[in-house]
Amino acid sequence: MSKPPKTGAVVELRASELNSQGGVFCPNPNMNLQSSHPKVYLGLAETGQARCPYCSTLYKLKEGEHFSAHH
C-alpha cells in the first residue's frame, strides 16, 4: 500500500507560469508518482491562489505577481 500524499504543500508561481486563462493543472510535473491523482484544473486568475481538492497543495502567485490576460 502506498503512502498518502503529503498535504499542505505550497507551490508559488510567477504570473508567466499560468496558462492563458490564469490557471495550472495538478498534479504538476514536479510531483512524485506517489502523489498522483486525477488531473484537475485550478484557476488562480481571480484570487491569486487555489487549493487542489485531491492533495491539498496550495498554488499561489508569488508576492508582487498579478495575472493579466494580456501578460
Q: Which of the four pLDDT bands, split at 50, 70 and 90, describes residue 29?
A: confident
- The pLDDT score that the predictor gives to residue 3 is 42
| Domain boundaries, given as residue ranges, for the chain | 10-61
Give per-residue pLDDT as tens, 7-22. 568 999 999 999 999 9
User: At a CB cut-off of 8 Å and minimum separation 6, what does 44 contact?
Assistant: 13, 18, 22, 23, 24, 50, 59, 60, 61, 67
The residue with cell 498579478 is 66
Model confidence, pTM: 0.78
State the average pLDDT over residues 52-60.
93
- The pLDDT score that the predictor gives to residue 2 is 40
Q: Which of the four pLDDT bands, split at 50, 70 and 90, describes residue 53?
A: very high
Half-sphere exposure of 34 (CA within 13 A, CB side): 7
Pairing mode, strands 10-13 and 58-61? parallel
Query: How big, in percent rounded to 5, are the helix, strand and coil portions of the chain?
Result: 10, 25, 65
